[in-house]
Amino acid sequence: MRLLAVFLIFILVFSANVFAQEKYVKAFAKSWSVTGTAQTDSAEASYVVLRNEFNLKSFLKLSAEFDEYLQKKSDKRLRARWCMFDLLGRRVFNVVLTRQDSLKMTEAIKLASNLKDDQLLAEIYALAADIDYEGGYLLYNLKAIELQKEIGYQYFSYVQNRFLGASLSLYKTKDFRESIKYGERCLTFKKVKVYEWDPMVYIFQLDVLGASHLALGEYKEAINYYKQIIDTLQKKPIHPKPDELWIAIARGNIGRCYFYEGNAAAALPLINQQLQAGIKYQQYNNIAIAQNVRGEIFLSQKRYGIALIAFKEALKAAIFSKKMDDKVKASKGIAVAYTYLGQTDSAVYYQHSYGRYLQQQNEMINNGKLSAMNARILFDNSQRNLEKANESISVLRQTRNIIIGAIVLLMIIGWLLYNRQALKIKLEKQAMAFENLQAKAAVDKAKNSLLQFRHQLVEKDKLIVNLKQSLRKSSLQHVLDEKLIGKNLLAYVLVTDAEWEIFRADFDKVYPTFYPSLRAKMPGLTAAEERLSSLIFLQMSNKEIAGTLGISVDSVSRSKRRLKQKLPVPADQTLEVYILALVADI
């Protein structure tokens, strides 16, 4: 009897679960079958059920059962909705998406396009943006916004999230004006469908707007948005931990604005608050931002040692956070600090690091530029037009074989052209790689020439000093072999006009931006001033410069004074420091 009772209970529980699952399948099928402008709200009701009544296990079971249901009942709209539901559920329950999941998004887009339902397609684009489908976060946010605008924003949920996504992506690609435009539009939805507003969306959008204005040098506007963050969180707290961090971030950015306006004294305490909060909550990106600004402040105060420490801490934090912009600022700051401290080798090393990070940053920015996104939108529109053309072609059944043959022929031609183009690109890459190797070899050779030139100057000075000492000590001056002395001295390079041209060519390979930067500061630069500036940049002493140019030390001093008068050298800066900074400032 006991076993029979247990068996009956099992049957009842099993039947109840099966009935419940069938109930959800039928309810969702009914909800997802709605068309027109009401379909989004109807589908959203099923997503609310998903979040409130399911766990990962029950969700996966329901999704599999709905897939079986669609195998028996073919319906494009339900199939598209199921693809969305399955992807959304995996996102809700933090399931890592696979390539197979991405194919569901591709299928959903195709089904919605075939149904010619732009409202359904707009929902799918919004979900594609949320899961960063094929790296198209900005692209699919813009696609969703475009369709939602045509249909009417009032028929969609969480429209503000689309504008925040676009604003954030545009900020990352340094399209700051466009970022501000979409960010301001996002804030206009704060009083629309208030129940859909995540308060952190509002805070995050204020931060993006403040950062965009700060990047444009519009400090009053930036301060206004960061003060709104502080006021909002103080009047209506969200959570102690994020509130404390966000308030510190806002104050730190206000401090940055104060510094760039020239008020370093007011800036530093606020930036230190951001730094301490970043350390407390292990927010490495905020640590990097704060340390970079502290480094800038210390540089402006000529506290080069402390500035160097701050920039190094910023670079360390930026490597942890993987924020390229912070890496660029920190490596440049380290190079400048080392330059002021007179540690040339270290300055050159970090200058190279700065160049490498800057190149990587530019590549990242260019890959996400708005122009590329617009091109992809136009491409997708052309794809939709092509599908319409293919539908009309299907009517012409009598020409089917000709069309198929033509398509095959075009594919063969395209394949041949593609292979030819691929081979051409491969050869061009090989040629570019060879040219890069040659260019590197030329630069290395030029560096060696400059080092040898400097070494010879030092050795020549040593030889002259030794000879003078020997002459003073010896009472037999007439027995010195004058020809031997002359031969030793002539073994070192003296900068004649011919030798100068060789030296200048080598110098230009190692420091290609020096002469253009110098001419930009001083358009009427003479050949003699160009020579003098080059030797000053190599940190040669007046005595070394005099020996190189064949003039007296006093002449070198006078030439330096005249050069400083012509250049826009700040009153508190030496000519040597100003010229050394020409390369670092580029």
Over the stretch 18-49, which tens digit does the pLDDT of each residue have? 555 678 888 888 889 999 999 998 998 888 88
| Opening angle at CA 251, ends 247 and 255, nearest 5 | 170
First vs last C-alpha separation in the chain: 90
On the question of pLDDT at 14 being above 70, the answer is no
Rounded to two decimals, what is the model's pTM? 0.60
Range in 242-246, 263-267, 343-347, 388-392 the model is least confident about: 388-392
Q: Are 160 and 186 in contact (CB under 8 A)?
A: yes
Please state, in angstroms and rounded to a whole number, the distance separating the CA atoms of residues 359 and 473: 60
Q: Are 313 and 305 in contact (CB under 8 A)?
A: no
276-287 residue pLDDT tens: 999 999 999 999
On the question of pLDDT at 237 being above 60, the answer is yes
* Residue (of 195, 222, 193) closest to 208 by Cα position: 222
pLDDT at 452: 58
* Helix spans in 284-323 (H): 284-300, 304-321
Please state, in angstroms and rounded to a whole number, the distance separating the CA atoms of residues 208 and 214: 10
Q: Identify the band that residue 510 occupies on the pLDDT scale cut at 50, 70 and 90.
A: confident
Q: Would you call 122 exposed, middle or buried from its count of C-beta atoms within 10 A (0-12, 13-18, 19+)?
A: buried
On the question of pLDDT at 584 being above 70, the answer is no
The H-or-E segment that residue 158 falls in is none
93-135 residue pLDDT tens: 888 888 888 888 899 999 999 999 999 999 999 999 888 887 7
Per the listing, tokens 């063969």 go with 412
pLDDT at 520: 87
Mean pLDDT of the 461-488 span: 42
Instruction: Output the six-digit token pair for 126.
Output: 């919004």
Please state, in angstroms and rounded to a whole number, the distance separating the CA atoms of residues 148 and 139: 14
Mean pLDDT for all residues in the chain: 81
pLDDT at 3: 43
Q: Identify the band that residue 12 occupies on the pLDDT scale cut at 50, 70 and 90.
A: very low
pLDDT at 484: 43
**Other beta carbons less than 10 A from residue 97's beta carbon:** 15
Answer with the residue of higher pLDDT: 418 or 18.
418
Q: What is the sign, positive or negative, of the torsion defined by CA atoms of 42, 89, 246, 293? A: negative
On the question of pLDDT at 226 being above 90, the answer is yes
Mean pLDDT of the 495-517 span: 81
pLDDT at 384: 60
Instruction: Output the six-digit token pair for 424.
Output: 């051409």
pLDDT at 26: 85
**Other beta carbons less than 10 A from residue 229's beta carbon:** 25
434-443, long-range: CB within 8 Å, 24+ apart, which pairs?
442/509, 443/509, 443/510
Answer with the residue of higher pLDDT: 454 or 86.
86
On the question of pLDDT at 536 being above 60, the answer is yes
On the question of pLDDT at 410 being above 50, the answer is yes
On the question of pLDDT at 288 being above 60, the answer is yes
Instruction: Output the six-digit token pair for 29.
Output: 């099928």
Pick left, alpha or beta for residue 322 (phi over 0 → left; psi -120 to 50 → alpha; otherwise beta): left
Answer with the residue of higher pLDDT: 10 or 507.
507
Percent of the chain with pLDDT over 70: 78
Range in 164-178, 410-424, 507-521, 530-544 the model is least confident about: 410-424
On the question of pLDDT at 337 being above 90, the answer is yes
**What is the distance of C-alpha 212 from the center of its chain?**
14
pLDDT at 181: 95
Q: Are 331 and 357 in contact (CB under 8 A)?
A: yes
Please state, in angstroms and rounded to a whole number, the distance separating the CA atoms of residues 339 and 337: 5
Contacts of 278 (CB under 8 A, 6+ apart): 245, 248, 284, 285, 286, 287, 289, 290, 317
pLDDT at 497: 74
pLDDT at 196: 66
pLDDT at 402: 84
Q: Are 310 and 291 in contact (CB under 8 A)?
A: yes
Q: Are 518 and 561 in contact (CB under 8 A)?
A: no
pLDDT at 419: 75
On the question of pLDDT at 195 being above 80, the answer is no
Pick left, alpha or beta for residue 493 (phi over 0 → left; psi -120 to 50 → alpha; otherwise beta): beta
| Opening angle at CA 257, ends 255 and 263, nearest 5 | 75
Q: Identify the band that residue 470 occupies on the pLDDT scale cut at 50, 70 and 90.
A: very low
Mean pLDDT of the 314-334 span: 93
pLDDT at 104: 86
Q: Identify the band that residue 239 occupies on the pLDDT scale cut at 50, 70 and 90.
A: confident
pLDDT at 457: 55
pLDDT at 454: 57
Percent of the chain with pLDDT over 90: 38
Contacts of 56 (CB under 8 A, 6+ apart): 93, 95
Mean pLDDT of the 332-354 span: 94
Please state, in angstroms and rounded to a whole number, the distance separating the CA atoms of residues 36 and 50: 23
Per the listing, tokens 């995540």 go with 198
Please state, in angstroms and rounded to a whole number, the distance separating the CA atoms of residues 222 and 208: 10
Mean pLDDT of the 207-218 span: 94
